[in-house]
Structure 1
Amino acid sequence: MNLTTLLFSFQGRINRARYWWVALINLAILTACLVFALALIGLEISNATPSTGAPVNYLFMAIFVVVGLLVIWSSTATGIKRLHDRDQSGWWMLVFWGVSAIVGLLQETATTPSSKFILDVGNFAVTVWIIIELGCLRGTQGPNRFGADPLEASPQ
């Protein structure tokens, strides 16, 4: 499997090791963007004058949005391939993203400490479920409906 297929295709299967490598690469890319953004903000603040304020770097914001979208796409594609390795539909990624988003929105509107706590516990449980499902459980042994076992040696 080439790098483009690994990162951006929704077809096929990948094992846990490849999933974690892509997760680490995505984390490194996002960390580098964050460090660059913080350095840029610090530079702009130090060069700002009281009358003009800090200039906004729209080019960097556009690059950050594009990189963010690529990382989201890559994370989704590798998650779907992990689900395929577990012989599950890739549509479960929609459930993972959707439940996380809904719980996040509910956390924003929660008014009492107990409701916020309950939502925090729910969000933690969903996160643990996702990590276990995608990153810890072994895939189906042998071929399944999504392709050959990525751990089996390919015939020469």
Structure 2
Amino acid sequence: MQRLRRLFVWRGRATRREYWEALALGVAAWLVGMGLALAVMVTTDWVVGGVIAAVIPMAVGSFAWAATAMRRFRDRNRSPLFFVVLIVGPQQLWSFARDLGGFEGAPYVKLLLMVMAIGLASWGFVELGVLRGTVGRNRYGDDPLNPTPAEVFT
């Protein structure tokens, strides 16, 4: 129960393992949501019901992943602003590049924006999923890999 509760907490730090578990849960929740939406829409022809059935598990999975990603940035001793730069930023750059109108030099601008988006997304992948967190205590709390004796016996 404690592990499940930690998925929805925004405070503290998270290990790489917690991050990958939250990511897997988020992907599973999105797949379940899409399956529910498809099942409701195919069996009842009720599109709104399908959307409602999809939104609930998707929102839960996305919230759990976002909370764990935020705690993972804190484990790396990074500001929560990194969430905006490395998670939201690439999505916005890619959308802007995709929707960019046709003008002289537009293909080059699109290419530059897409390369920037891929670079930021890759950096976010390395920060969240590959690199070890800060060793010892940092400004966001104790090291989750080396708990204090009080944390072990609670």
Partner of 2:14: 14
Partner of 2:76: 86
- Paired with 2:46 and 2:42, the residues of 1 have a C-alpha distance of 12
- Paired with 1:106 and 1:69, the residues of 2 have a C-alpha distance of 24
Q: TM-score, normalised by structure 1?
A: 0.79
- Paired with 1:116 and 1:93, the residues of 2 have a C-alpha distance of 23
- Give the AA of the match of 2:123: W
Residue 94 of structure 2 corresponds to residue 104 of structure 1: yes
Moved more, 90-99 or 32-41: 32-41
Distance 1:8 1:60, change over 3 A: same
- Give the AA of the match of 2:99: T
Q: CA deviation at 1:12?
A: 0.7
- Paired with 2:95 and 2:129, the residues of 1 have a C-alpha distance of 26
- Give the AA of the match of 1:57: V
Partner of 2:137: 143
Partner of 1:122: 116
**Aligned sequence identity (%):** 27
- Paired with 1:117 and 1:91, the residues of 2 have a C-alpha distance of 26
- Paired with 2:43 and 2:12, the residues of 1 have a C-alpha distance of 45
Moved more, 98-107 or 80-89: 98-107
Segments of 5+ residues of structure 1 without an aligned counterpart are 45-54
Partner of 2:30: 30
Q: TM-score, normalised by structure 2?
A: 0.80
Q: CA deviation at 1:42?
A: 4.6
- Give the AA of the match of 1:21: E
Q: CA deviation at 1:28?
A: 1.2
- Give the AA of the match of 1:150: P
- Paired with 2:41 and 2:88, the residues of 1 have a C-alpha distance of 32
Partner of 2:57: 67
- Paired with 1:10 and 1:92, the residues of 2 have a C-alpha distance of 15
Residue 59 of structure 1: SS of its match in structure 2? helix
Task: Select the structure of larger CA radius of gyration.
Answer: 1
- Paired with 1:146 and 1:5, the residues of 2 have a C-alpha distance of 19
- Paired with 2:69 and 2:26, the residues of 1 have a C-alpha distance of 13
Number of residue pairs the alignment of both structures matches: 146
Give the CA RMSD over aligned residues.
2.3
Q: CA deviation at 1:154?
A: 4.0
Partner of 1:47: none
